[in-house]
Structure 1
Amino acid sequence: MPPPVPAELPAEVPAEVPAELPAELLGGHLRVLRAAAGTGRLPGRDELDACRADGRRAAELGVPLRRLVDAALAAALTPRAPSADVPAAPPPALLPALRRSVGALMAGYEEAQHAALREAEQERRVFVDDLLQGRAERLAERAEHFGLRLAESYQVAVARGLDENGPDRIERDLTARFGSHNILVAVRDGLLVCVVPATLPAAVGEFTHHVRSRFPAGWRVGVGRPQRGPGGIVTSYREAAGALDLADRLGLRHDVVKAADLLVFPVLLRDRGAMEDLVTSVLSPMLGARGGHEPLLETLEAVFAAHGNQTAAARRLGISTRAVTYRLQRVHRLTGFSPDDPTQRFTLETAVLGARLLDWPWD
């Protein structure tokens, strides 16, 4: 016996909604079917709007789209007459009306889903802003929604040099490996921010790997120290962003800079007046040097970075070792401090770091 096919739905015979669905979800759809079966009329704009509203409501209630469509198709079927050997053919308008009605249901369902995604993304952005600024209103409760347990220790890494499509792809890759409950990735203030549990140090390395693979040249990653609690996340984030700033001001060449490696610099800057006095006292005589002070500063930086190895410093600067030696002698004559003396070398290096941090010379 062949399966039943859509048959005529007389206006006085109501189609039924499957029991597992709320009856109101297909109200607009049923009216369309009855009108098409009874009068041959195709649905108008108002009727299709009602179907879209039904679809949106179904999505909000969490009804699977497949179940909704199955119910809509089932509502177009009626048992064939007992005396008929062959099911009756549907009226000409029924199938086009069914198609338009189901299409409107699906369109409404998708609209609701897109709206929910936009709302979730906005909620996520607000949460990230509150989290990284330390605004504590219901923070722990909201954090659990994103899989974060704020009583634990977390570490924050930030990447600069965003690629347009990089953030979404990096987040997908990280959550695929470590789970969405362990990783929070967001964009804030032009930085890609990654918050991970301190118990997952490999996640920071994986984050850096994806940044290296997907960001254009010029990218850099800053890494904060593991810190505990909501305030700890704020601190780690500020450390990571501060590490990027320090790396720029100091002219560091590293692609990845860790706050733990730069702890001396906030200490140096804590007493700005004392640092300015040191820079002025030690380096001011170089301002009158022939050729300017900058080549002498760059030479000192290169020598300090090479741990006193003048040959390596020369390669870094692209000049001869003899030129490096000559410049260091000039520094000694002008300032009275020699890079070869351990105590004087420390004073010189601190003054050079202070000069870079404070954008010396000042107007």
Structure 2
Amino acid sequence: MDLKAAGRQAAEDGVPLREIVAAAIPDDAVRKRVLALIEGYEAAQLDALRAEHEARHEFVADLLQGRAERLAERAEHFGLRLAESYTVAVASGVTGDLPRIIEEALTARFGSHNVLVAVRDGLLACVAPATLTAALGEFTYHVRTRFPEGWRVGVGRPHRGPGGVVTSFREAANALELADRLGLRPAVVKAADLLVFPVLLRDREAIEDLVTTVLSPLLQARGGAEPLLETLEAIFAAQGNQAAAARRLGISTRAVTYRLERIRRLTGFAPDDPTQRFTLETAVLGARLLDWPPRG
């Protein structure tokens, strides 16, 4: 009997090693001793894997939090080169065992030295080299197919070094927050596309003055300012196309025309005038950022 061939066949058939040993060693005493050795060996391997997994997750948590203690040294242990540029994507709506499932899927495809996955501040974060754009695309795919309805992915910009990972993570998280506050529709939002909003918020006094000056007259409208603000958002999103804006709002084109005329009369600004459109659009964005008008 070719034991080598039999062992190979058993492995291909998925037969557990213990069953192979039990079948190959008829002597009970010898078989028990061999099985005890196997049990100890497997237990040690499992402990080592768990310790490595915990150390990896602790490292990712420290990396995302900006704790600089021995980061470079610890990164080398996991095969990471922190001098490179990295990009971070985060997903909201994480539940249950999804982090482990997605981590296993990503590391199986791209390798554990290329992709880091961890939960931070209630968000599932994926850290990948900026050159490995496919990893973030794969991350988004798994979020889209596995997360419950209401998920959203934020993507930071690429930055270099350990501090760059923290910056990219914060950008991705802030992109999610801005998307929620602004009521943006895309399920994937990129920090690079939202750079104007932090600029607006840096001078809060100026943006508050703009919102109050331009939009306060809308409070006089029947039904309040909200329907008119939504109409302006729809018009801007549709590049001024009233029919497209009407479909977006679920109302008639005539109703859109009426609302725009109402806005012009109340504020003195017309969305179809290039200069006035810019002022109106900036004011509407500022209103969303400031959660204006205040509710109740």
TM-score, normalised with respect to structure 2: 0.85
Contact 1:163/1:214 (<8 A) preserved: no
- Is residue 127 of structure 1 aligned with residue 59 of structure 2? yes
Q: Does 1:185 align with 2:93?
A: no
Matches within 5 A, 1:273-312: 273-312=205-244
Cα displacement string for residues 293-336 of structure 1 (whole angstroms, at most 9, x for unaligned residues): 11111111111111111110000000001101111111111111
Partner of 2:3: none
Instruction: Tell whether 2:148 aligns with 1:220.
Output: no
User: Which structure shows the bigger proportion of residues in helix conformation?
Assistant: 2
- Residues 60 and 117 in structure 2, CA contact (< 8 A), matched pair in contact too: no
1:249 to 181, 194, 217: 181
- Conserved? CA contact 1:157–1:221, under 8 Å: yes
Q: Which amino acid in the other structure matches residue 100 of structure 2? A: D
Query: Which residue matches 1:23?
Result: none
Count of aligned positions: 278
1: CA distance between counterparts of 2:49 and 2:291?
46
Q: Give 5+ residue unaligned stretches, structure 2.
A: 1-16
Report the RMSD for the aligned CA atoms in angstroms: 2.6
Contact 1:146–1:184 (CA under 8 A) maintained in structure 2? no
Asked whether the 8 Å contact 1:194–1:207 carries over to 2, the reply is yes
Which stretches of structure 1, 4 residues or more, deviate above 6 A after TM superposition? none
Larger RCO (CA within 8 A; separation ≥ 6): 2
Of stretches 113-122 and 97-106 in structure 1, the one that deviates more from structure 2 is: 97-106
Among all aligned residue pairs of Structure 1 and Structure 2, give the percentage whose two residues are the same amino acid.
Answer: 77
The structure-2 alpha-carbon separation of the partners of 1:175 and 1:122, relative to structure 1 and needing over 3 Å to count, comes to closer
1:350 to 276, 279, 282: 282
Question: Contact 2:225–2:293 (CA<8 Å) still a contact in 1?
Answer: no
Q: Which has the larger radius of gyration?
A: 1
Q: Distance in 2 between matches of 1:273 and 1:118?
A: 52
Give the C-alpha shift of residue 103 in structure 1. Answer: 5.2
Q: Which residue of 1 aligns with 2:136?
A: 204
Please say if residues 337 and 344 of structure 1, whose CA atoms lie closer than 8 Å, have aligned partners that are also in contact: yes
The separation in 1 between residues aligned to 2:208 and 2:30, in whole angstroms, is: 80
Aligned to 2:193: 261
Give SS of 1:338's match. Answer: coil
Structure 1 residue 150: deviation in Å?
0.7
The Cα shift of 1:262 comes to 0.7
Q: Residue type matched to 1:334 in 2?
A: L
- Counterpart of 2:281, as a letter, is E
How far apart are 1:153 and its partner, in Å? 0.7
Instruction: Please report the TM-score for the alignment, with normalisation by the length of structure 1.
Output: 0.70
Cα deviation code 1:6-65 (max 9, x no counterpart)? xxxxxxxxxxxxxxxxxxxxxxxxxxxxxxxxxxxxxxxxxxxxxxxxxxxxxxxxxxxx
**Cα offset, 1:111, TM superposition:** 3.9
Residue in structure 1 matched with residue 249 of structure 2 by the alignment: 317
